[in-house]
Structure 1
Amino acid sequence: MSSPAHAPSSKHAIKPRGVGGASAQGTRPSQQDQYMITPPQEIPKMTIHDELAIFAVFDGHGSRKVAQHAKRHISELLFEGDALQAGRFEDAIRQAIQKEEETLLEECQEGEDKFAISGSTVSVVIVNLNNGVMVHRLTQDHKPENPKEKERIEDAGGVVNYASETARIGALNMSRALGDLQYKNPLNNDTMGPSTAGQEIAAMTPSIEQGSFVSSEPSIIRVDLRQDRRYILALTTDGVTNVLKDSVIINEIKTRHEGGLGVQQVADELVRGVTQGERRDNATCIAVFLDGCLS
Structure 2
Amino acid sequence: MHLGVSLQPLGAAATGGTFLDTAAAAERLGFDSVLMSSHLLAGNAGSTMDPVVLLASVAGHTTRVRLVTSVLVLPYYHPVVLANQLSSLDVLSGGRFVLGVGAGWNAEEFAAVGVPVDRRGARTDEYLAVLTDLWRGEPVTRTGTFGSLAGSRIGVTPTTPGGPPRWIGGHSDAALRRAARFGTGWHGVGVTPAAMPDLRRRLSAATEAHGRTLADLELSTVSVLVPPGVDPVAGTPYPPLGGHRPSTASVVDDLGRLRDEGITLCALWMPVPADRMADALAWVAEEVRPHLG
Q: If the length of structure 2 is used for normalisation, what is the TM-score?
A: 0.34
Question: Which structure shows the higher helix fraction?
Answer: 2
Question: Which structure shows the higher strand fraction?
Answer: 1
Larger radius of gyration: 1
Q: If the length of structure 1 is used for normalisation, what is the TM-score?
A: 0.34
Higher RCO (C-alpha 8 Å, min separation 6)? 1
